[in-house]
Amino acid sequence: MKRILPLALTCIMLLALAATAFADVMWEPMENQFYDRQRDECEYNARSYYANGKEGFVTLWDAPGGSLVKAQYQNGELLWVGYTYKNWALASMWLPDDRTEVTGWVPMADLYLQYDHISFEEEYGDQFVDYNGEFAGYTPQDEGETFWFWEYPHAGSPRERIQTNEDMLDALRGTAEQQSHISKVYVDQSGQSWGYVTYLYGIRNFWLLLDNPTGGGIMTSCFPEVDGLIYSGEIIPPQEPVMPGKSYLPAILTAAVVVVTAGALAFFYGKRKKPTE
């Protein structure tokens, strides 16, 4: 009995660790002093927004109302917002060359929400029904088919194209041992059925066209969504960023301190040094 109890406790601890591994990992900025200080007051957002400043660009600051410019982007650039603090957003961009993270605070009023799966649910959620085996009978035409995963039904273009395997097909169709990962179904105006998946092998929150998962014959938009938003006036036309005046204030104050200190030292030592005969 003495040996069984420690063994049981060890198993419980290992199971707890395994459960933690499957939990969502919430992103946090690598370096942001304001976020570190106000973490408890920040709300998790995890949505994408287009830059949409009144002057044709946005400025990312070190803190809400801060004085240090972290980055500037023309309107239409897509930024990812991890957290919000009151009416400010902690926005991030990852540089394509080395995936360096650039993060700063920008007023929410200077951002335009990108339509996403949450927006679609808010608009059409009352038409969703529970999944009831609509994809269970799917038979692939070829081995290793490529499925199109969509941010929402009839988005301008698929979010991802994923080559399938037998395990993925079973996870989507469901088996006697496991339920399908498809949780909701939406039928569009043309009668096509779409299935919503919350999580599948690291991919989150996507839609699959159940009647045609490989995307054959589906028309996609030839123009980025942002072009249409600018054309319609929902996003202000982009302009070349201009550094804001208050961003120069710290440098001006530093220079002023240096000049005043140098003058004081010159005056002080000038009085102490008197000509000797």
- Range 49-69 burial, b when 16+ CB lie within 10 A, else e: bbbbbeebbbbbbbbbebeeb
**Predicted TM-score of the model (pTM):** 0.77
Over residues 108-131, mean pLDDT: 98
DSSP, residue by residue, 8-36:
HHHHHHHHHHHHHHHS------SS-HHHH
CATH of range 33-114+235-250; options 2.30.30, 1.10.3470, 2.60.120, 2.40.360: 2.30.30
What's the pLDDT band for 137 if we cut at 50, 70, 90?
Answer: very high
Model pLDDT, residue 13: 39
Report domain extents, the chain.
Answer: 33-114+235-250, 118-220
- Residues, the chain, total? 277
Q: pLDDT over 90 for what percent of the chain?
A: 69
Q: Record the tokens describing residue 10, joined without a space.
A: 């060890």
- pLDDT tens-digit readout, 19-31: 333 334 678 887 8
Over residues 170-177, mean pLDDT: 95
Model pLDDT, residue 222: 80
Over residues 114-143, mean pLDDT: 96
